[in-house]
Amino acid sequence: MQFHITPPDETLRPELQNKIDNLAKPRGSLGRLEEIALRVGLIQQSLSPTLRAPENILFAADHGIVAEGITPTPKEVTWQQTLHFACGSGGTGIGFLCRQHDFRLTVVDAGVDYDFPAGCGVVDRKIRRGTSNYLTGPAMTLDELEKCLTAGAGVVDDAAARGCNVVSFGEMGAGNTSSSALWMHYFAGVPLEKCIGAGSGLDDAGMRHKLDVLSRACKNYEFELNGPGSAWNLDGGPREVMARFGGFEMAMAVGGMLRAAERKMVILVDGFIMTACMLAASRLHPNVLHYAIFAHEGDERGHRLLLRELKADPILSLGLRLGEGSGAVCAYPIVDSAVRMINDMESFASASVTKYF
């Protein structure tokens, strides 16, 4: 899968900044709103940016590593919640937020170990019924990874065809904080113990077990790469790390992010797992970061370090760790306010107010 992502043309920056500075207010007085408006204007190459048909795309899949007891969440919760997202009453965490902020919620089966009934509202992009256990081998093949990237890109193409130009991504999959921790470890060079968090509620003993399992998975991988006594290196590059430790839902989210950037859409980045996906996407195509607005700093251990690695300044800090795209949708009204500011506020000239700086 090839993506052609170019950074926004910076030629417009002075004119955008001038427009923001000449709104009838003290310069810089609307703080982050001004920064966000500038970013969205550059993404859209417009002095009057717009946000249209916002959509939260939620990918779901099962993880083979769950067999090692690294999460308190039973495996069946993945398919149960996925079905609930798609055809329930809208009473899920992401459901009520999407309804509140007028987001379309698209739910995608990337690799759930369940056969969803026809017509239930789940988009079928299933690779297979869950990844393999990466303690003993790759979670997926490189061919499966490419299928994920292609499928994720296709779902974003469908959203764009519906008029969407601002997109967030969410996930459902027991065990995916472990995959995120491993991507963070390899792509950001952070010690593994600092990447691992409680996930869906591990106690101290559970955390120690999780670290032990993931540490052994790393040792097995590094042994396979280099053999005994060799200095470890990433011979296979980022795609190999993604395939070795990732989830189908995470890989599809990466494909979606890359396509959204290619289409010059605004990408709202959710919590720990989606930030790990943005990190992986940036290792494939660094220019993707120009299109990202980081929504919040979550409560999962390691998220702050991951945001620092990406030099990201998130909008919110609410102690969230639900995932599903919830933090991104929560942050959307702030982005909307930034766009309304640049479009709806009068300038000093139009308001007949003396410019005093």
Active-site positions read: 324
**Beta strand segments in the chain, E:** 55-61, 104-111, 123-124, 166-172, 266-269, 292-294
**Phi, psi angles (nearest 5°) of residue 133:** -75, 110
Instruction: State the Cα–Cα distance between residues 80 and 41, nearest whole angstrom.
Output: 40
Using DSSP, state whether 323 is helix, strand or coil: coil
Q: Over the range 300-337, which residues count as b (16 or more CB within 10 Å of their CB) and which as e?
A: bbbbeebbebbebebbbeeebbbbbbbbbbbbbeebbe
Which two three-digit tokens encode residue 50?
């717009």
Complete edge-to-edge strand list for the sheet that includes strand 104-111? 123-124, 104-111, 55-61, 166-172, 266-269, 292-294
Tell me the helices (H) and strands (E) count for the chain, helix number first.
Answer: 13, 6
Q: What 8-state DSSP symbol labels residue 65?
A: G
Q: How many CB atoms lie within 10 A of CB 235?
A: 8
Q: What 8-state DSSP symbol labels residue 68?
A: G
Task: Judge contact between 15 and 27, C-beta under 8 A.
Answer: no
DSSP string, 268-292: EE-SHHHHHHHHHHHHH-GGGGGGE
